Structure 1
Amino acid sequence: MKWPSLPTRPRRRLRRLEGVLGTALEVQLLGDTATCLDAAERALLAELDRLELIFSRFLPDSELNRLQARPGQPVQVSPDLAALLDQAQHFMTLTGSAFHPASDTLAKLWASGEPEPGELGRVLEQMRRPLWTLDGDQVTLHTDLGLNFNAHAKGHITDQAAQAAFESPGVREVVLNIGGDVRHIGRKTVQVGVEAPGELADNREPLLFVRIQNQAVATSGHAHRGAHLFDPHTGQPTAAARAVSVLAPTCAEADALSTAFCVLQPDESLAMADALPGVGVLILGGLQPRSNAFWQHHQLPLTPL
């Protein structure tokens, strides 16, 4: 008699790495065997390394830095960089430039104190001009302002790395957290904690939890990196006490929108989130938290203290 084979119990793995994209990485994997989880880890890390060589502002020979060394010249770029530039242009247009890849220039101006009005005005004038022209895989930069896509490149990389791990045979679930950008892929829902604005602490409890499935959550504000968010329209720092979390279909979208919603007024942010499919927003730092219906649908009930 041949006995039927019993289904194997899936393996679960949690891995944490420091110094990934300048921050910490935490990944949870669920798969059929330890071997398939090993393969998924390798695929995830290989995709991270590959994309960092394209998008990094810190690696001198990254594709982005090579492009920025040639303003005014048509340059053929990789499909990955072309896709990132196309995404960035979309988010700039969608948010009325509240999301702006040249905002890092403002951070540098403010690094040693409030800049002179004339100097600030010259930078803002440059920021109002077209930054690049994208024609297929040909890019021509029209500015010598430093471009920094961290406000959504980290989210884009998180999406791609999570997908690379999930496509490894035998993998059932992936939850990837890179510096607070969280992407889930799989059949079951997972809970993601959201912190309140303020000083960070390793043992700090989340303020609340949201339930996601095949979705992403990202948070922007001054708590993690100090004052680094600026209004591209005025050149002034955004409200220091505000923190914005966005739930969206991808980390790239959540990352870009959470940055833009730190610039826009809360009413504008809530209205924009409501107009976008699958986007929820939570705004903290005012007298009362504010969120739209999509966020509220995913937020878990608060437990009384």
Structure 2
Amino acid sequence: MRDTEQGLRHVEHVMGTVFSFDIRDRPTTAIHRALGDAVRHLHTVDAVFSTYRHDSAVSRLGRDEIRLADCPSEVHEVLSLCARANRDTEGWFSAVADGTLDPSGIVKGWATENASRLLHEAGARHTCVNGGGDIQVRGQAAPGTPWRIGVAHPLHPAALATVVIANGDLAVATSGTAERGAHILDPHDGSPAAGLASVTVVGSRLTMTDAYATAAFARGEESRDWLESLAGYEALAVLPDGRTWRTSGFDRLAS
């Protein structure tokens, strides 16, 4: 945790990735306390939802060792959000894509949004919380200066596919194979999704933005019309051959 002239910054290794906090408000005792609460929240989420932990609630639930009624309230909330995402995406988001319970496609975005909310409730109005590349921002980077969020190009590691300009609350989520390989499955047949190299979805809140990005990547090129129909969301896709497409309002958000 590091105070700077611009505010407060912190990096936390948790949930198998890196979370970064960039708070541009004057640090107060309440904000310091909220940052600590946000970090503890992330570790709790990891303990409850990690599919790599044999003793996590999700792992035990998936093995039928416990019932949903025995799980922490967070599990009920996340599985309810997964059911909503499944309906919204016409079945292309699934917490059981390969027959095993795995709500990871929504957990990181949900945890990141919750961390951002904790800071906001403590009085931090200008923040960027980055959960392994999925980002929730609020306010501005500086008075009169928007946040600029670079989106990595999936085929050219040193290049950016685009830069999203955020004035006010905005969420940016990218799904693809660049970082973790072919980890997103077609929920209908269990095969690795391969129709896109990456897809970036922009919305106001990260939980569903992240879920929609996962679903769009699983759906491939056919996701374009569906993404266009989503009110309050825009998207950019990079195809395996380097071509791109974007929804009609995406250019208003990008430089």
User: What is the alpha-carbon distance in structure 1 between the residues aligned to residue 37 and residue 225 of structure 2?
Assistant: 39
Distance verdict in 2 for CA 1:274–1:27, change over 3 Å: same
Quote the residue 1:284 is aligned against: 238
CA 1:167/1:281 → structure 2, altered by over 3 Å: closer, same or farther? Answer: same
Q: Secondary structure at 1:245's aligned position in 2?
A: strand
Deviations along 1:31-85, one digit per CA (max 9) or x if unpaired, are: 2235444323212112212322322222333222232232795634433211211
Q: Go from structure 1 to structure 2 and tell me whether the alpha carbon gap of 1:152 and 1:297 turns closer, same or farther (over 3 Å shift).
A: same
Q: Segments of 4+ in structure 1 off by > 6 A? A: none
CA pair 276-34 structure 1, distance change in 2 beyond 3 A: same
Moved more, 34-43 or 151-160: 34-43
With over 3 angstroms needed to count, the CA separation of the structure-2 counterparts of 1:236 and 1:61, relative to structure 1, is closer
Number of residues of Structure 1 aligned to a counterpart in Structure 2:
246
| Residue of structure 2 equivalent to 1:29 | 23
- Give yes or no for the alignment of 1:173 onto 2:143: no
Cα deviations by residue, 1:191-223 (Å, 9 ceiling, x for unpaired): 1111111264xxx24232011231211111111
Structure 1 portions without partners, runs of 5+: 1-9, 106-144, 301-305
Q: Residues 65 and 34 from structure 1, CA distance in 2 versus in 1: closer, same or farther, beyond 3 angstroms? A: same
Post-superposition shift, 1:229? 2.0
Structure of higher CA gyration radius: 1
Residue pair 1:173, 1:184 contacting (<8 A) in 2 also: yes
Counterparts of 1:13-162 in structure 2, within 5 Å, are: 13-17=8-12, 19-33=13-27, 35-70=29-64, 75-103=69-97, 105=98, 145-162=99-116
Q: What secondary structure does 1:28 align onto?
A: strand
Q: Deviations over 1:116-150 (max 9, x none)?
A: xxxxxxxxxxxxxxxxxxxxxxxxxxxxx321111
CA 1:161–1:73: 2 relative to 1, 3 Å: closer
Corresponding residue for residue 204 of structure 2: 249
| 3-state DSSP of counterpart to 1:172 | coil
Tell me the SS of whatever aligns to 1:31.
coil
Q: 2:218 aligns with which of 263, 271, 274?
A: 263
Distance in structure 2 (CA, Å) of the matches to 1:161 and 1:253? 15
Q: Quick one: which of 188, 194, 202 aligns to 2:151?
A: 194
In structure 2, do the counterparts of structure 1 residues 84 and 298 end up closer, same or farther at CA, with 3 Å as the change threshold?
Answer: same
Amino acid at match of 2:139: G
Secondary structure of the residue aligned to 2:211 is helix
CA separation in 1, counterparts of 2:27 and 2:218? 46
The whole-number CA distance in structure 2 between the counterparts of 1:288 and 1:199 is 13
Q: C-alpha separation between the residues in 1 aligned to 2:91 and 2:83?
A: 9
- The one-letter code of the counterpart of 1:174 is T
1:293 matched to 2:240? The reply is no
RMSD: 2.5
Residue 196 of structure 2 contacts residue 220 of structure 2 at CA under 8 Å; is this kept in 1? no
Instruction: Specify the SS of the correspondent of 2:53.
Output: coil
Task: Quote the residue 2:175 is aligned against.
Answer: 220
Residue aligning to 1:209: 163
Residues 67, 75 of structure 1: 8 Å contact kept: no
Q: TM-score, normalization: structure 1? A: 0.73
- Compared CA separation, residues 242 and 174, structure 1 to 2 (3 A): same
